[in-house]
Amino acid sequence: MSRQVDHRHQARVRPNAPDASMQESSADATLSVSFTQRVDPFALHLNQEYPVAKSNSKKTPPSPHNAAPSETKAGAEITREQLIDNLNDDLAREYQAIIAYVVYSQAIKGAEYMTIAKELEVHAGEELSHAITIAKQIDYLGGTIGTQPKPVKTSDSAREMLQFDLDNEADTIRNYRQRVRECEALGEYAMSEHIREILKDEQDHLTELASALGIDPPRL
């Protein structure tokens, strides 16, 4: 009995033209949902055959941009436009890191800090490489590459400078971990690999700064 109803429904909504199902009214979409709930096994087949009718029943409307929202592990939705914005935020942190490491590597004084001062010079070069990688990803996504760094704190104290760096690295690591999840939620697996590579460097920076400060690396 229910299969006869199914065939009628199928005949009515089968899209001969590609966009025919897009014109299905919201009432039809509602019918499709309640029908799905009543006849579960066969309704699964219907849903596979008519993905447009299924998407009409979603609570969240499609993104105004070119990709439908995807979900991260945390459940938050992400679009390609939001990913571009977030990558530009990452880029601003990389610019900040370049400036901070250039300045701090030269401004730090004291015999006990000479080893870490040399390390900071190396960090500066690595942060530049990260900035270029992130800018490439923004360009690949069709975004506009930002030009503004996050603010750089200054201090006369070597210890404070190292602490600023440590705090920034911790913030950067937290953000890149989230970015990996966002890239993967959007199916951008190569991009997530690039960010994982950057993460390795950031983790090393954090460890070296903690070591110079004589503390354990913070648990993030």
Binding site residues, Fe ion, CB under 5 A: 94, 127, 130, 202, 205
Question: Closest distance between Fe ion and the C-beta of residue 177, in Å?
Answer: 13
Q: Which is nearer to Fe ion, 119 or 127 (CB)?
A: 127
Q: Which is nearer to Fe ion, 55 or 211 (CB)?
A: 211
What residue is closest to Fe ion based on CB? Answer: 130
Question: Closest distance between Fe ion and the C-beta of residue 157, in Å?
Answer: 20
Q: Which is nearer to Fe ion, 50 or 164 (CB)?
A: 164
Question: Closest distance between Fe ion and the C-beta of residue 126, in Å?
Answer: 6
Does residue 57 contact residue 32 with C-beta atoms inside 8 Å? yes
First to last CA, the chain: 58
Q: Which is nearer to Fe ion, 50 or 95 (CB)?
A: 95
CB neighbour class for 198 (10 Å; exposed up to 12, middle 13-18, buried from 19): buried
Question: Closest distance between Fe ion and the C-beta of residue 141, in Å?
Answer: 19
